[in-house]
Amino acid sequence: MKRHLKRSGIRPLSLLAVAAVLAACGGNDGGSGYSAEIRRTEMGVPHIKASNWSGAGFGYGYAQAEDNLCTMADSFLTYRGERSQYLGGEATLRYDSTIGQPSNLDSDFFHRHVLSSDVVDAMAAAQPENMRKLVEGFAAGYNRYVKEAKAGTRSHAACRAEAWVLPITAQDIWRRMVAANLAGGYSNFLPNIANAQPPGAASLAGTARSAARQVAAFDPADTRAPQLAVGGVEGVGSNMYGFGSAVTGEGSSVLFGNPHWYWSGPDRFYQAQLTIPGELNVSGVSFLGIPVVLIGFNDSVAWSHTVSTARRFGFYELALTPGDPTSYERDGKSVKMSARPITVQVRNASGATTAVTRTLYKSEYGPMLNMALLNPALGWSSTKAFAMRDVNGENYRTFRNWMRWNQAGSLDEFMAIQREEAAIPWVNTVAVGRGHAKAWYADIGAVPNVTPEQVASCTTAFGKAMAAAIPNAPFFDGSRSACDWKSDADSVQKGAIGPARMPSLLRDDYVGNMNDSYWSTNAKALLTGYPAIFGAAGTEALSLRTRLGHQMVQDRFAGTDGYPGTQASSAIVRQMVLNSRVYSAERFKAQALDMVCSTPQIAVAAQGTVDVSAACAALRAWDNTGNATARGSHVWDEFWNAKQVPASQLYAVPFDPADPLNTPRDLKPGAADALRQAFGAAVARVQASGYAMDAQRGEVLFSQRNGSKIPLYGGCGGVGYFTITCSDNPIGQGGYTMEGQSYGNSYMQVVSFPPGGVQAHTFLTFSLSDDPASPHFADYTRAYGAKQWLRVPFSESEITSSTGYRTTSVRE
């Protein structure tokens, strides 16, 4: 059996051949139809077994649709650029995701422009034959379920009769895969790309305010920093550890993986196991619409990811050819931008549709941007314009990499694949393997290759001025080829850093990442010496969540965390990662309360006098955790999130790279007045919400399912929670509900490799199905709320003997 894809075995396809593959409706490893067995176990987790790749894809597409039809059908509209046709142009996207919630019209233009047919075909052409069969089967399985749902034989009453619930093609899956690639780059600038127009073009909603403003002098105060869903300071993130066998006491390394991800929408995770006897046996999660396991484990390796601090994109300032705002100068020659007229059908209130056309442009670097949305002086004028380059817009190896990992036979093979492909798009990786004593960390993927000399000589004046708003993003002069991203001798992709210069660490104690840079992978072995684009290395304070994450490990090894012994066994890890410690409270609560509780009342500017005595009493009694039964944690959250005090004015001891876990520390007495104002305002919000100051966490933080509240625990990373359950809903609007735009612990796994088997405990915190009528709409969420890990079956005997085991054969 070939355990992984060798480079020489990748068979490139012409675009015509790709088109033929994508058009195929029945090809499936030589059989006459698709077939798979879907075995469901506790929490509804599907274990899909098929005799070939197209059958595995068929079963997986069917299972995902059976559980999440409404979300998936909605998302396929997004990737095809058809939202406006069915749902109107002014409405915003229903779900939050890596593209945020833009208007349907902007979303449609963005996706038709960026997910153009040449890009989608290139993604398909870069994949091995088995991947193409998997994708074709997935589309067929999804369509089989749509047909059944339309016939009224299944659930999903909210959407099954809607006109926008449509069959898909393999091309839709490739689009969805390309879109996943772009979460760390283009997706963060959707409105800028969708509204990029040269001077004189028809006015569009969201474009620069006026031509006069576009050419005004640059004023830094006018700059609006982009909201980066992935790669932002407070964007979505994750925690993960790998513990070497020397510290677990179990003869096996242990992996903990925990992406803090969306609880709803197209980017939420779906848990499943895919088995093709003799070829594939992998369990874990994918994004909806993707047929490959992205985080998970097989018989030999387990891995997880966290969002990386490495910047995956950059900008080019273009000097335009005089008299032609759609041509630019490069090395003294004029280069014409490629123009693409795009027409979107837009449904109006009467149900009729009208056509809206925009002509959008690409340069050799990538799509043009309307940078006036960030600063009016950066509009597309007659003399300058701006283009964006996303390294993952040219990276078609990502899913090939994950497919090879799905089949990897050892940690050594896993690491070799990561170096060979250098493809992981915008995340760090931690992995452990059977029989391997060490744990692996790497930020090895597609990262722009810009030299310090280029940063010094190619960064434009505007680039220097925008550095604070978009740190670490190269903002170069596009008129000189000398400013093109470079290639190393071992670069796998043009303009990307070679694997030899990317951070990695193999340790027999532990590796971990909580969304700070590679620098703090191990608190006792800080990494340095990598290109600056990977993130800060000892120049910035670690986040409170990162500090707590490493402190928890140090406490474990010292035996001071209240758990037995000093080893990081699977059982202990499962407890400590759910303990809901609040690092800001552990470090600063006593000092803060001495400052803000010195009087029972606080005069709050523009709000009047606030009685804080009950709040102070609750916080003094609070146990500094966010467990469901903890009392008063919400008051601390409101206070800590509300303080508007720069670190230089807040902390008495500044950050010291020689002591990153203990600095900055101690509150400055001079911050007392500002903290009192923040505390008084926070208490007023809690009073107005109707919640008692000593209310239990689970009363305030919960998930609402079919009219029933499921008490939860944890909180947001900015407050210093390690256990992340972060609600965007204000406390005054019904409490911290995890519906809507919330994110947090999502797919959690603790995996080890005892002799002869795999031991995996998991949560899918938001449950498997989006359908309120499904028995799996809330069951996993209730288990998570009760901290009851699922020992997920993996072997055949575990699956077939599982409580609640049921099996369904699906065929086409």
- If phi > 0 it is left, if psi is from -120 to 50 it is alpha, else beta; for residue 170 that is alpha
Q: What is the pLDDT of residue 235?
A: 63
* Rounded Cα–Cα distance for residues 432 and 297 (Å): 9
**Six-digit token pair at 661?**
């876990």
Mean pLDDT of 675-681: 97
Mean pLDDT of 779-807: 97
Confidence band of 606 (pLDDT split at 50, 70, 90): confident
Q: Which of 741, 745, 778 is nearest to 762 (CA)?
A: 745
- Residue partners of 33: CB distance under 8 A and separation at least 6: 26, 811, 812
Q: Which of 218-227, 453-462, 625-634 has the lowest mean pLDDT?
A: 218-227
* Rounded Cα–Cα distance for residues 742 and 796 (Å): 36
**Six-digit token pair at 401?**
């990499």
Mean pLDDT of 480-494: 98
Q: What is the pLDDT of residue 28?
A: 46
Strand partners, 809: 37
- If phi > 0 it is left, if psi is from -120 to 50 it is alpha, else beta; for residue 740 that is left
* Rounded Cα–Cα distance for residues 693 and 633 (Å): 9
Evaluate if residue 680 carries a pLDDT over 80: yes
Mean pLDDT of 762-770: 98
Query: Is the whole-model pTM more than 0.85?
Result: yes
Q: Spell out where 470-548 has E strands.
A: 475-477, 504-507, 510-513
* Rounded Cα–Cα distance for residues 695 and 625 (Å): 13
Mean pLDDT of 769-797: 97
* Rounded Cα–Cα distance for residues 523 and 355 (Å): 57
String of DSSP letters for 223-290: ------TTTSTTSSEEEEEEE-HHHHSSSS-EEEEEEEEESSSTTSEEEEEEEETTTEEEEEEEETT-
252 is catalytic: no
Which residue is listed with tokens 């109006």?
348
* Rounded Cα–Cα distance for residues 243 and 298 (Å): 18
**Six-digit token pair at 781?**
């969420």
Q: What is the pLDDT of residue 113?
A: 98
The amino acid at residue 701 is: L
Mean pLDDT of 424-450: 98
Q: What is the pLDDT of residue 200?
A: 84
* Rounded Cα–Cα distance for residues 131 and 292 (Å): 9
Q: What is the pLDDT of residue 203?
A: 44
Confidence band of 2 (pLDDT split at 50, 70, 90): very low
* Rounded Cα–Cα distance for residues 544 and 560 (Å): 20
Q: What is the pLDDT of residue 215?
A: 53
Strand partners, 198: none
Pairing mode, strands 35-40 and 368-369: unpaired
For residues 812 and 35, is the Cβ–Cβ distance under 8 A?
A: yes
> Using CB atoms within 10 A of its CB, is residue 481 exposed (0-12), middle (13-18) or buried (19+)?
exposed
Three-state DSSP state, 41 = coil
The pLDDT tens digits for 9-47 are 333 344 333 333 333 333 445 455 999 999 999 999 999
* Rounded Cα–Cα distance for residues 164 and 166 (Å): 6
* Rounded Cα–Cα distance for residues 140 and 65 (Å): 11
**pLDDT-above-70 percentage for the chain:** 93
Q: Which of 471, 480, 426 is nearest to 453 (CA)?
A: 480
Element (H, E) at 365: none
| Pure H helices in 81-197 | 83-87, 104-114, 117-125, 129-150, 170-181, 190-194
Phi and psi torsions of 65, nearest 5°: -70, -40
* Rounded Cα–Cα distance for residues 242 and 255 (Å): 5
Confidence band of 202 (pLDDT split at 50, 70, 90): low
3-state per-residue secondary structure call for 553-593: HHHHHHCCCCCCCCCCCHHHHHHHCCCCEEHHHHHHHHHHH
* Rounded Cα–Cα distance for residues 147 and 165 (Å): 10
C-alpha to C-alpha distances, 527 to 505, 520, 524, 536, nearest whole angstrom: 8, 7, 10, 11
Mean pLDDT of 561-572: 98
Q: Spell out where 416-521 has E strands.
A: 427-433, 439-442, 475-477, 504-507, 510-513
C-alpha to C-alpha distances, 354 to 74, 111, 345, 348, nearest whole angstrom: 21, 19, 6, 8
Confidence band of 93 (pLDDT split at 50, 70, 90): very high
Q: What is the pLDDT of residue 234?
A: 64
Evaluate if residue 569 carries a pLDDT over 80: yes
Q: What is the pLDDT of residue 10?
A: 37
Can you say how many angstroms the Cα of residue 505 is from the centroid of all Cα atoms in its chain? Answer: 23
Confidence band of 741 (pLDDT split at 50, 70, 90): confident
The pLDDT tens digits for 109-146 are 999 999 999 999 999 999 999 999 999 999 999 999 99
The CATH code for residues 580-721 is: 1.10.1400.10
**Six-digit token pair at 679?**
């505390």
Instruction: Name the DSSP class of 184.
Output: G
Q: What is the pLDDT of residue 227?
A: 82
* Rounded Cα–Cα distance for residues 266 and 287 (Å): 7
**Six-digit token pair at 370?**
């309307």
For residues 377 and 217, is the Cβ–Cβ distance under 8 A?
A: yes
| Pure H helices in 643-733 | 647-650, 672-689, 697-700
Q: What is the pLDDT of residue 221?
A: 82
* Rounded Cα–Cα distance for residues 4 and 300 (Å): 13
Report whether the peptide linkage leading into residue 664 is cis, meaning its omega lies within 30 degrees of zero.
Answer: yes
**pLDDT-above-90 percentage for the chain:** 89
Can you say how many angstroms the Cα of residue 303 is from the centroid of all Cα atoms in its chain? Answer: 16
The pLDDT tens digits for 73-90 are 999 999 999 999 999 999
Q: How many CB atoms lie within 10 A of CB 566?
A: 15
The amino acid at residue 189 is: F
Mean pLDDT of 85-112: 95
Catalytic residue among 54, 107, 238, 543: 238
For residues 705 and 698, is the Cβ–Cβ distance under 8 A?
A: no
Q: What is the pLDDT of residue 719?
A: 96
Which residue is listed with tokens 């007659």?
382
Q: Which of 48-62, 196-210, 718-732 has the lowest mean pLDDT?
A: 196-210
Q: How many CB atoms lie within 10 A of CB 563?
A: 18
Q: How many CB atoms lie within 10 A of CB 395?
A: 26
The pLDDT tens digits for 391-405 are 999 999 999 999 999
Mean pLDDT of 468-479: 95
Pairing mode, strands 46-49 and 269-276: parallel
Q: What is the CA radius of gyration of the chain?
A: 26
The amino acid at residue 629 is: T
